């Protein structure tokens, strides 16, 4: 019985080259403009929640209406630059997260198909080794070590 093939795709060399070129262009544009925080810094600064975005938006609106109320120690021009850049970045992050999710989901299905086909191959080699098919025993012994028979209850870690 044939296994269900969940996905079947392929990329041409031209498509891969274009994809790589565009990703490189994105990286080049972002160089010097983006930051890599440490895990500790991410925890320290956190992420602004929707409620806090509303506070920022409301404050910006009132700062525009009442510029004389902005504290002298707040650099309004810098606030405006940060505000604009944040909006510009957020829309791109959403697009990139969507594309990343699509690629990860596609890879997940490809991994699933490959793994199940590899298990079918292994089962066949195990059978052939038992039938003394020339050369099958050495392939079976080589692959057999990849299957852990102790410890976990995860099906993917036990011999098929």
Query: In this structure, what token pair is assigned to residue 33?
Result: 């403009």
Count of domains forming the chain: 1
* 32 domain-assigned: no
Average the pLDDT over each of 7-21, 46-60, 124-138 and give the range with the smallest value: 46-60
* 110 domain-assigned: yes
Report the pLDDT value the prediction gives residue 150, as an integer from 0 to 100: 65
d(CA 131, CA 136) in angstroms, rounded, equals: 9
If pLDDT is split at 50, 70 and 90, which confidence band does 47 have? confident
Report the pLDDT value the prediction gives residue 159, as an integer from 0 to 100: 56
* 5 domain-assigned: no
Average the pLDDT over each of 9-18, 133-142, 143-152 and give the range with the smallest value: 143-152
Report the pLDDT value the prediction gives residue 157, as an integer from 0 to 100: 44
Q: What is the span of the domain harbouring residue 109?
A: 43-157
To 10 degrees, what angle do helices 76-130 and 50-65 make?
160
Query: In this structure, what token pair is assigned to residue 26?
Result: 């994105």
**Tens digits of per-residue pLDDT, 66-101?**
999 999 999 999 999 999 999 999 999 999 999 999
């Amino acid at each position: 019985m044939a296994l269900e093939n969940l996905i079947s795709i392929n990329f041409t060399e031209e498509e891969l080259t274009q994809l790589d070129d565009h990703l490189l262009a994105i990286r080049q544009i972002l160089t010097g403009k983006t930051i890599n925080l440490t895990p500790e810094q991410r925890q320290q600064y956190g992420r602004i929640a929707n409620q806090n975005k509303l506070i920022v938006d409301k404050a910006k609106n009132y700062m525009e209406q009442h510029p004389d109320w902005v504290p002298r120690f707040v650099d309004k021009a810098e606030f405006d630059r940060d505000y604009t850049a944040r909006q510009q970045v957020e829309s791109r992050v959403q697009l990139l997260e969507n594309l990343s999710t699509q690629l990860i989901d596609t890879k997940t299905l490809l991994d699933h198909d490959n793994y199940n086909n590899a298990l079918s191959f292994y089962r066949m080699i195990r059978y052939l080794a038992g039938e003394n098919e020339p050369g099958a025993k050495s392939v079976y012994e080589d692959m057999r070590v990849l299957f852990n028979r102790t410890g976990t209850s995860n099906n993917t870690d036990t011999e098929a």
